[in-house]
Amino acid sequence: MSEELHVVQKPKKKTSNTSLILLVAAIGLLAGVVGSALVYGYMFEKYVLTLSEKSPTIVKEVTQLQDDTIIDVVSATTPSVVSIVVTKEVPQYNQMYSPFDLFFGVPNGQRNVPGEKLFEKQKIGGGTGFFVSEDGMIVTNRHVVSDSNAEYTVVTSDGEEYSAEILARDNVLDFAVLKVEGDGFTAANLGNSDEIKIGQTVIAIGNSLGEFSHSVSRGIISGMSRDIVAGGGLTGAEELTGIIQTDAAINFGNSGGPLLDLSGKVIGINTAVAQDAENIGFAIPINQVMRLIEDVQRDGKISRPFIGVRYVALTEEISSEINVKYDYGVLVVRGDRVTDFAVLPGSPADKAGIVENDIILEVDGKKITDENPLVKIINEYQVGDTVQFKVWHKGEEIMKDIVLQDKNDLNKKEK
């Protein structure tokens, strides 16, 4: 039988002298608390009113201070920023003969051969870049200088024009390096993109719309470690990982320009803007390209370390299907075509004995995850480095030492 609980009233007890004393003490304590609260409330209200009266001045001073900082940063950085003009010989087809020429004549008394194909040099695009050395080395986006048949002219902040040579185009990041002849250029100060915070103020400088050089916009860092698929023009679509998101205006022509912090240091390279959206722009973190800049300065080319495997990220579904316990790592697999090898012949992975259906779990003790993908880990190393890989191979975990190789060197050997 279940028991039902009831609230019962306790019988009253006679109030003793001790109880009276405690009651008086409690009342006194309560009065003290209430009095203190009233005094505190009055003081707090007075403080708030005083602060409110002064706040417009404080806000004005803070705003002025930030404006002055931005003005100083722009003034110091502008000499480092260049506009890139893209020109190309474009075919021009002459019009066929028209009977109206008999009445209106032909300009300059000349008549073109019907259907003759002529070429005329025209501006076909533009972008932005910035100096990273005093001897004329400039970085920009690869998509700005993707046409191998075009000519590129760099225009500095003082209006001087220089013919530019393409030193390197990266095949992984939207990144390229140009060079102009000369010396004494103002190199931008490169910062540390690992130290940036969401919400901090940033400044973008660029050749907006390919017409308005050294346009300045300001905003904040809206997000970090974004993964996007960007594309267009001759470069096609490409996946960029670990990208900075900002609401600073990044228009056509701003590509390749610097994204700056308030200390005037470059923390990113403006790269893309979201279509059909406002105030959503993206920049490549400067730390992703620091090593590439050093490569070009030292060797005159970009060296990309690789191991030579085709893979898919391990998912819960894949792990269940192949009956393994891992929720991280990558599975080495072949592609759809016969020539899409799981392991590239002659590659570092091939030499180390990695085969199809192996699972690469860790690189030098770092787990391969969505947040820390294999390509990102590999790019932290130099060509020639020996790196230890933890691999699941035919039912057991083994360690393999792999010497990283430059993919371009392997391609040359194949040719």
What is the SS3 assignment for 222? strand
What is the SS3 assignment for 244? strand
174 is catalytic: yes
Residue 261, Cβ density class (10 Å: 0-12 exposed, 13-18 middle, ≥19 buried) = buried
CA 331, distance to chain mean position in Å, is: 27
Residue 100, sorted as left (phi over 0), alpha (psi -120 to 50) or beta, turns out to be alpha
Among 300, 359, 315, 264, which Cα is nearest to 73's? 264
Residues 394 and 397: their CA atoms lie apart, in Å, by: 8
Buried b (16+ CB within 10 A) or exposed e, 112-139: eeeeeeeeeeeeebbbbbbbbbeebbbb
143 is catalytic: yes
- The β-bridge partners of 129 are 82
Residues 385 and 184: their CA atoms lie apart, in Å, by: 35
Residues 169 and 88: their CA atoms lie apart, in Å, by: 19
Select which of 83, 143, 146, 193 is catalytic. 143
Could you tell me if 201 and 264 are in contact, meaning their C-beta atoms sit under 8 angstroms apart? no
The CB-side HSE value for 23 (13 A sphere, CA atoms) comes to 6
E strand segments, 209-279 = 212-230, 238-246, 258-260, 265-273
393 is catalytic: no
CA 51, distance to chain mean position in Å, is: 40
Select which of 80, 215, 255, 347 is catalytic. 255
Could you tell me if 343 and 354 are in contact, meaning their C-beta atoms sit under 8 angstroms apart? yes
Select which of 80, 83, 146, 174 is catalytic. 174
- Catalytic site residues? 143, 174, 255
